[in-house]
Amino acid sequence: MGIEQLTHPIMLPVILPLLAGVLSLLIPNRASGLRSSLAILTAALVLALVWPLFQQANMVQDVLPWLSLRVDTLSSFILLAVAFFGLLIAIYSIAYMKGHARHREYFTYLLWTLGMSCAAVLANDLLLLLVCWGFLALTLYLMAGISGPDAADAARKSLMVIGGTDALMLLGIVIYWQLTGSTRMDGPAIALDGPLAYTAFLTLLAAAFAKAGAVPFHTWVPGFGEKVDAPVSAFLPASLDKLLGIYLLARCVLDLFVPTPMMYGLLMLLGAVTVISAVLMALVQHDLKRLLSYHAVSQVGYMILGIGTGTALGLAGGLFHMLNNTIYKSALFLCAGVIEKETGTTDLDRLGGLAKLMPVTFLTCTVAALSISGIPPLNGFASKWMIYQGIISSGEGAGPGWIVWLAVAMLGSALTLASFVKVLHATFLCKPSPEVQQLNIRESSVSMLAPMLVLATLCVAFGVFAFQLPLDRMIFPLVQADVPGVWWAGLATVLILVSIAIGILVYMLTMRSGNLRRVRTYIGGEQMQDVYISGENKDGPRNVEITGVDFYDTIEQLPGLKRFYVLTRARIFDIYEFTRRGFNYLVQILRSLHSGVLPTYLRWFVAGLLVVVWVVTETGS
Amino acid sequence: MKSSMVLVEFLLFPGLLFTAIAGLLTTWVDRKVTALVQMRVGPPLLQPFYDIRKLLIKETCVPEDGAVGLFLLAPLLGLAGVTLASMILWRTLLNVQATFVGDLIVLVYLLVMPALSVMLGSFASRNPLASLGGSREVKLMIAYELPLVLAILVPVIQANSIRLGDLLTAQAPIFSLSGALALLVCIACTQAKLTIVPFDMPEAETELSGGALIEYSGPPLAMFKLTRAMMLFTMPVLLVVLFFGGVVSGPGWLPAVTGFLLWFVLVAVTIVVRNTTPRVCIDQAVRFFWGPVSLVALVAVMLAWLGW
């Protein structure tokens, strides 16, 4: 490999972080500041290098005979997003990881993940993609391990699920190679005209789903998000894995295969199931990070729904939603990280009252929460609106399925809102828990708040200027279709702001100084504190406090849903658990054969010998 | 379309001022009819305006531990949402060409904002009773949202369009079985969306003493009252547009008068229901909306799909 190949502009975003990762391993722990600076510098450099690639688009470069890279409208915009989130997380991690015992490994893995993700997006060869995919599964596992022994189980599970689908992907690639005679990805798309083609399509789909965390391969996400450090969750399941998984899905649907209507139907079914089942689980969670992880799963459903419509608008909406989701979901995880850093917990039962103590975090979290719930004019609404349009237009000439998908998607949106008002209540607005009251909580450092604020700003900007900024520059070139109608988000925003301004004016005119009186809250004439202390058991359940964590227990008790929750808690829908039990069963059978009784073993030997002899004599001649 | 014109439309007609006046007059109808049902005389025509003015000059009390910024901002969010929704609706009613693709979806989402403002406002109060009320508001929302969306899809399926303008000029869905069923579903959901009896459990005067709004007073309370009045006016208008499209559009005075009468009937139904039913529990409401109401909505959607 010559130096000119290595320094080709398309290679640099891959090579640089990998080298920087090695370099960061060599930096002693004393100079951890140097290491984090190196990480930020590299991430910024990658972003700068990716920008010209994004600008020019469409280039296939055979760097080496076996190393073919490609930039096109799809990969260039994903590449840009990957680099952007890499930089933001690197900045956030400085303060978060400061003084961490495994600082060195963290930043090394971060850089390697960044480089390998760039390689995965740029790969023009399915085998290269598979190699990157495998390497990313490894770094995901290693990064999760940094969070300590608690996360070991979650890390192992994610490695198993992603590794298992990697094996499926290898099968798919072999079949693809069999069908087309090449593993290059820029060839013509193949039609789904036989069981082989279907197998290849479905196996690649499985890999994409596992990466993005969609049903039925979603089960690694909740545990991972709960146990692993928040920046890692913001970096991997919330942003990079979504980008990569949906990237592979879009590649499969757009370039590699020509899906049949039935496959589109399957996609939409899985998307709808993902949306609703994950959000129902999110409703009843008690841990902030676990709740967010369920939403990370649920939101993938919208992307798959959008892509599954098979219409230009739906596809654009799905990809736009992917981008928006990475923005608000990482913002939410970063908020969770700040909260955990300050309070030492993400248990919603033990938080509360942080709105006053951490106003910037509260603001960011509220914007992101409203955005994920699809409140206009934020970005989540813009992409959901496009997905709904796509679903409706996919219904023309097809079965009545679209009505169900649309209703499910819109209900999912309402449930998401419900789940996030609970988060806002339990974390920021309700009375602080005794634990929080004892702590001296301050707002976090600037280097952690800055990435969050950037993301919150993007939530607003990508919603208000959806058609000017992201759609026009990144997504519409990709679908190459005339997208009808534009919802005038900019104008609507101005009008909403105007009416809020009028309201504030009314307040100012009517509330002359001294007119704003602070009073104790009225609870049937009781004093909250008095009731609290005079309770029979001070440390027992707080009878007047409402944390909001169990707001939706009534929903859980509904006849039909009760069964769903019981079964899900028993991990009936968990493919990992399923496979594990299956293997256990197999192992039991094998174990029972190893009885230690020699005559039995001897019989097996003789039987095996007979089979061998039979095979040799029958086929040898 | 000039931006200054839009601003005038938004502030005066058919936006804020118009919807506010119409909404307050609608609450007068509500109070008058209620009074008649209870054999009282009822308030004079301008009483709702006096009430709002009184609230505006009253002192504002804010809870000492609450998130005051959000507490004061929340009512304005809902007001903005309903104003924008009403403006989109009326622009289409006045000029069918003013519609745009997907405006119905925008409308549905904007009409969620009043509920959201109640949730945020109540949670910002840091009062257990308000929190309970707010949580009921949330649960009520997720309960009625499913059948409401399904029922709204019936006219969409029949007209094969998601633009309000097309729905308005299409054959009125009410003349089909599916349309009639969907209208029934929508009336039930409207009752809950307006949080009036039998679905007023977020406020539940008798158990939560005002619940979600317990800490509100003065101008912020006026904003909430105004928002609710405007919703009381706007929701029946939306139903008229959705289900009586072909009847109330067209030249001349006849469609306009018909439209007004239909609107009045829908308001009257809401008021009569409110005066003749007791409040239900929140779990009963969720079960009601996710059970029979959703079932009827599903049947309506199926029938609409089959062309009935």
Q: Are residues A253 and A297 in the same domain?
A: no
Q: For the ranges A25-29, A572-576, B176-180, B213-217, which has the lowest average pLDDT?
A: A572-576
Picking from B82, B88, B99, B131 by the largest number of A CB atoms within 10 A of its own CB, the best residue to mutate is B131
A170 is a domain residue? yes
One domain for residues A292 and A433:
yes
In sequence order, what DSSP letters do the residues of A94-131 get, joined into one string? HHHHTT-TTHHHHHHHHHHHHHHHHHHHHB-BHHHHHH
Same domain, A22 and A63: yes
| A522: contact with B, CB 8 A cutoff | yes
- Tell me the pLDDT tens digit for each residue of A593-610: 777 788 888 888 899 999
A606 in a structural domain: yes
What is the count of structural domains for chain A? Answer: 4
Q: Which of chain A's residues have a Cβ under 8 Å away from the Cβ of B103?
A: 487
Which among B6, B80, B153 is the nearest to A496, CB-wise? Answer: B80
Nearest CA in chain B to A414: B142
Please answer yes or no on whether A548 and B135 come within 8 Å at the CB atom: yes
Residues 204 through 233 of chain B touching chain A, CB cutoff 8 Å: 209, 214-215, 218-220, 223
pLDDT of residue A480: 66
Give domain status of residue A531, yes or no: no
Given this model, what pLDDT does residue B215 score?
Answer: 87
Q: Give the residue among A359, A301, A383, A296 at the shortest CA–CA distance from A333.
A: A296
For residue B41, the distance in angstroms to the closest alpha carbon of chain A comes to 32
Say how many CB pairs under 8 Å bridge A and B. Answer: 222
Same domain, A160 and A95: no
Q: From the candidates A351, A499, A515, which should be mutated to test the interface with B, based on the most B CB atoms within 10 A?
A: A499
The Cα–Cα gap between A448 and A94 comes to 8
3 state DSSP class of A191:
strand
Q: Residue A228 in contact with residue A144, Cβ under 8 Å?
A: yes
Residues A81 and A219 in one domain: no
A548 touches chain B (CB under 8 A): yes
Residue A495 in contact with partner chain B when CB distance is under 8 A: yes
What is the tens place of the pLDDT at every residue in A478-533?
Answer: 776 666 555 667 778 888 888 889 888 888 888 765 567 788 777 776 665 544 44
Q: Is B278 helix (H, G, I), strand (E, B) or coil?
A: coil
Q: Where are the alpha helices (DSSP H) in A514-574?
A: 528-534, 553-556, 559-569
The residue ranking higher by pLDDT, A222 or A618, is: A222
DSSP state of A218: -
- Do residue A521 and residue B72 have CB atoms under 8 angstroms apart? no
A58-80, pLDDT tens digit by residue? 778 787 777 888 888 888 889 99
Query: What b/e string do you get for A3-21 counting C-beta neighbours within 10 Å, with b at 16 or more?
Result: eeeeeeebbbbbbbbbebb
On whether any CB of chain A is under 8 Å from the CB of B260, the answer is no
A85 with A183, same domain: the answer is no
d(CA B36, CA B24): 18
Which residues in chain A are contacts of B84 at CB distance < 8 A? 492, 495-496, 499
The domain in which residue A579 lies consists of 575-620
**If pLDDT is split at 50, 70 and 90, which confidence band does A335 have?**
very high
- Residues 132 through 151 of chain B touching chain A, CB cutoff 8 Å: 132, 134-135, 138-139, 141-142, 145-146, 149-150
What is the mean predicted confidence (pLDDT) over A325-333?
A: 93
Percent of chain A scored above 90 by pLDDT?
32
Instruction: Please report which confidence band the pLDDT of residue A585 belongs to, taking 50, 70 and 90 as the band edges.
Output: confident
- Helix H or strand E encompassing A509: helix A489-510
Domain boundary among A460, A484, A513: A513
B141–A557 C-beta distance less than 8 A: no
Inter-chain residue contact A518 with B60, CB threshold 8 Å: no
CB contact under 8 A, A545 and B283: no
- Does A397 lie at the interface with B, CB-CB under 8 angstroms? no
pLDDT of residue A485: 56
Averaged pLDDT, A293-310 = 92
Write out chain B residues lying below 8 Å of A353, CB-based: 65, 126
Q: Do B106 and A487 touch (CB under 8 A)?
A: yes
| Residues A519, B116: C-beta atoms closer than 8 Å | no
CB A342 within 8 A of CB A439: yes
pLDDT at A482: 61
Q: Which of B7, B77, B162 is opposite residue A392, by nearest beta carbon?
A: B162
Q: Would you write out chain B's pLDDT as a tens digit for each of its 308 residues?
A: 566 788 888 888 888 999 999 999 999 999 999 998 889 999 999 999 999 999 988 888 888 888 888 899 999 999 999 999 999 899 888 888 877 777 888 899 999 999 999 999 998 888 888 888 888 899 899 899 999 999 999 999 888 888 888 888 888 888 899 999 999 999 999 999 999 888 888 887 777 777 788 888 888 999 999 999 999 999 999 999 999 987 888 788 888 899 999 999 999 999 999 988 888 888 889 889 998 999 999 999 999 988 87
Residue A271 to residue A141: CA distance in whole angstroms:
26
Question: Looking at residue A373, what is its pLDDT?
Answer: 92
pLDDT of residue B82: 94
Average pLDDT over residues A235-251: 90
Any domain includes A292: yes
Name which of B17, B65, B150 to mutate to probe chain A: the one with the most chain A Cβ atoms within 10 A of its Cβ. B65
pLDDT value for B52? 93
For residue B1, the model assigns a pLDDT of: 52
Compute the nearest-CA separation of B222 from chain A (Å): 10
Question: Do residues A31 and A79 share a domain?
Answer: yes
Higher model confidence: residue B251 or residue A121?
A121
- A529 near B CB under 8 A: no
At A378, list the tokens.
């934020």
- Asked if A546's CB is within 8 angstroms of B16's CB, the reply is no
A432 in B contact zone (CB under 8 Å): no
Same domain, A337 and A417: yes
Per the CB < 8 A criterion, the answer to whether B108 and A409 are in contact is: no
Closest approach of A207 to chain B, Cα-based (Å) = 33
Answer yes or no: do A161 and A110 share one domain. Answer: no
In a domain, A495, yes or no: yes
Rounded alpha-carbon distances, angstroms, from residue B28 to B53, B264, B273: 15, 13, 17
| List of chain B residues whose C-beta atoms are within 8 Å of the C-beta of residue A414 | 112, 141-142, 145-146
> A316 with A252, same domain?
no
Cβ separation B139–A431 shorter than 8 A: no
Q: How close A130 gets to chain B, by Cα (Å)? A: 40
Looking at the structure, do residues A252 and A280 belong to the same domain, yes or no?
no
CB spacing of A510 vs B218 below 8 angstroms: yes
CB contact under 8 A, B102 and A487: yes
The answer to whether residues A329 and A296 touch, using CB atoms and an 8 Å cutoff, is: yes
Cα–Cα distance list, A202 to A144, A171, B36, B113 (Å): 28, 10, 66, 41
Q: Hunting for tokens 């020509």 — which residue is that?
A: A258
Whether A354 contacts A335, CB under 8 Å = no
Give how far A313 is from chain B: nearest CA, Å: 12
- The whole-angstrom distance between B257's CA and the closest CA on chain A is 31
Name the band, by pLDDT with cuts 50, 70 and 90, for residue A366. Answer: very high
The shortest C-alpha distance from A220 to chain B (Å) reads: 28
pLDDT digits (tens, 9 = 90+) for A369-422: 999 998 888 899 988 988 998 888 887 777 778 888 998 999 999 999 999 988
Q: Are residues A166 and A193 in the same domain?
A: yes
Residue A565, in any domain of the structure: no
Instruction: Check residues A204 and A528 and name the one with the higher pLDDT.
Output: A204
What is the pLDDT of chain A when averaged over all its residues? 85
